[in-house]
Structure 1
Amino acid sequence: MELEVRHLRALCAIADTGSLHRAARQLGVTQPSLSTQLRRIEHELGGALFVRARTGCRPTPLGRLVLSRARPLVAELRSLVSEARAAAVGGRQLRVGSTASRALAGWLRRLRRHWQEPTLHMDVSANALLRMVADGHLDVAFVHEVEGSPLRVPEGLRVRVLVQREPQFVCLPADHPAAAKPSYASPTWPTTRWMIDPTVDGEWDAVRRVLRAEGLDPRILHGDYHTAASLVATGEVVTVVQPTSPSRAETAVRRLHGDPLGVRLLLAARTDTELEGVYPDLAEAYGEVARQAPAYREWLERSGSGALVPALP
């Protein structure tokens, strides 16, 4: 087997996410195929590159050596492709990374007023996005940091807080008894099946921590956002969502009683100039979606936190 750039990219993804499962999700492949590819790479290079354990994957000494050479090569190739595409359309494109957010569409719409069509890279892992900014693969990244699970911010990155604490809400089936109330209280939690995306940095630990604080042994299923949304609609599960998420005919978004779950919203870039150049548009876009979410707006007005949300009158 001849080593190719895609193999180096896979090694970097495994190292960045610390997990074959999360790396496979990031690369858009199945975990078994990534495991097979890793074994072939290790056979070609003559030794194990990662130690596999229940807590994840970490590089061996050989793995660290290979990664130290692989990262610059992958970064250079990405820069080459990005610069070539920008030159082809007559200007520099802003490379944006983001975890899922309702504010993203409005932010991109506003950025188009100042830039060529921005490129967008979505990832459930905030840590992976921050690393991509530090390595020069992205210009800016909009991420969330779950309480109790601090992000690994690479040295030298500039970070600005958009919202210090955004409460996390729940999405319920529309016919759930709690859907008729303004909040989802803990007495109903013991009978709830929760669905959490384990690839979202910190979310699994945060939900488990909150439920165990109530003396509950949580029944938690694993699934991505799309799977969770469909199962909520059929009444099978309840899932944690951003407060800007809209209710639909078959679902209802409600706050968690006591607001036990929260995240910090951050914007990261390599320089203050890059950061300040895009922050106002993001703040305006976030304020727009906050105003459009009835449950969140009610929470902001009730808690007196409206001033903490950018552009919210």
Structure 2
Amino acid sequence: MELEVRHLRALCAIADTGSLHRAARQLGVAQPSLSTQLRRIEQALGGELFTRTQAGCRPTPLGRLVLSRARPLVTEMRSLVTEARAAAADAPQLRIGSTASRALSGWLRRLRQRQQEPTLRMDVSANALLRMVADGRLDVAFVHEVEGCPLRIPDGLRLRVLVDREPQFVSLPADHPATAKPVVHLSELAGDRWMVDETVDGEFDAVLRMLHTAGLSPRVLHGDYHTAASLVATGEVVTVCQATCLPRPEMAVRRLHGDPLGVRLLLAARTETELDAAHPALAEAYEEVARQAPAYREWLEQGDVNTPVPALPH
């Protein structure tokens, strides 16, 4: 059996949903068919990729290895299909750059519904994306500016603030003692290892500053946030995460007491016309994912934030 993109997409869906049933529903296939497909994939790779329990499916060490290679391939294939369809239809393209965000999927979908065919360039560096907009290689960029670490805004760029301050939360193992409460004090994480992605502009300095201000000097591991999520799930580390991050069966998301770390969400372009073309769809997509994230939804309902996201229903 040769692995195909659809097989990799199925593995990602199982990992993301934590359940064969939910993954099958997301993929639009029957659960028995997905279970059979998973067994064939595991036979082809020579080992189990997920541990099945009553609580759901958790990646095994082999599964985490495969997923770390599968996710970029699935993302690249989606981008390839999008760009190929746009070229075939000779549709006007909106060249988008973005740092990581759960709002991306809804943003792209809404742009297509508005007869705009987007292409996507992902980068962990907001400064790199801003430079690409200034150089004309991208039309717009959606970026995160870490609090206390201002971005380098090239001359001539126009900015529109999506959210003036989004708090950063913490993701930690589901069985961590601190998950007993909805709000975690940093002191409760004093004995944990932290993982930080130092390639994200300003992130490493901001997290260390937050920890040192709280009087903590924990062990810090360096790695990307896909790896961090895998290590959180196995109890190895805790890490900061975006407020829109969704919990999983093996990973909890909690607010940090006092909201010690935040980011500003910005949309950048060379002209107001380009901002007008991209901003409404992005604002709608962000509102959608904000409503879906339990911890962020609760935080927003308290009215503690000055943000364009409208009041959420009780």
Query: Which TM-score applies when normalising by structure 1?
Result: 0.70
2:127 corresponds to 1:154: no
Tell me the residue number matched to 2:230.
230
Output the amino acid matched with 1:308: T
Gaps of 5+ in 2: 1-82
- Residue 107 (structure 1) aligns with: 107
- Is residue 178–residue 184 contact of structure 1 (8 Å, CA) maintained in 2? yes
Residue 218 of structure 2 is matched in structure 1 by 218
1:1-313 maps to which residues of 2 (within 5 A)? 88-305=88-305, 308-313=307-312
1:77 match:
none
Question: After superposition, what is the alpha-carbon deviation per residue over 1:253-275, rounded to whole angstroms, capped at 9, x for unaligned?
Answer: 00111100000000000100110
SS in 2 for 1:130: helix
> Partners of 1:281 and 1:86 in 2: how far apart?
19
C-alpha distance in 1 between matches for 2:116 and 2:294: 34
Paired amino acid for 2:136: G
Alpha-carbon offset, residue 190 of structure 1 = 1.8
Cα distance in structure 1, aligned partners of 2:173 and 2:280:
36
Rounded Cα–Cα distance in structure 1 between residues aligned with 2:158 and 2:116: 23
1:212–1:218 CA contact under 8 A, matched in 2: no
Please report the RMSD computed on the Cα atoms of aligned residues, expressed in angstroms: 1.8
Describe the superposition over 1:118-162 as per-residue Cα deviations: whole angstroms up to 9, x where unpaired. 110000000000000000110000000001100001000010000
Deviates more, 1:113-122 or 1:150-159: 113-122
Query: Which secondary structure does the structure 1 equivalent of 2:117 belong to?
Result: coil
Identity percentage of aligned residues: 73
CA distance, structure 2, for counterparts of residue 116 and residue 164 of structure 1 = 27
Match of 2:32 in 1: none
Q: Report the AA paired with residue 286 of structure 1.
A: Y
CA distance in 1, matches of 2:235, 2:106: 31
1:213-250 deviation per Cα after TM superposition (whole angstroms, max 9, x unaligned): 12222311001111101100000000110010000100
Letter of the 2:204 counterpart: W
Question: Which whole-Å CA distance do the structure 2 matches of 1:162 and 1:116 have between them?
Answer: 20
| Structure 1 segments unaligned to the other structure (5+ residues) | 1-82
CA distance in 1, matches of 2:225, 2:286: 20
Structure 2 SS opposite 1:310? coil
CA contact (8 A) 1:133 1:139 kept: yes
In 2, distance between residues paired with 1:107 and 1:238? 29
Post-superposition offset of 1:87: 6.0
Read off the aligned partner of 1:293 and give its amino acid letter: A
Q: Could you tell me how far apart the structure 2 residues matched to 1:256 and 1:116 are?
A: 38
TM-aligned CA deviation for residue 189 of structure 1: 2.6
Helix, strand or coil at the partner of 2:246 = coil
Take 1:226 and 1:171, find their aligned partners in 2: how far apart are those partners?
A: 12
Question: 2:84 and 2:246 mapped to 1: Cα distance?
Answer: 39
TM-score (norm 2): 0.70
Aligned residues: 230
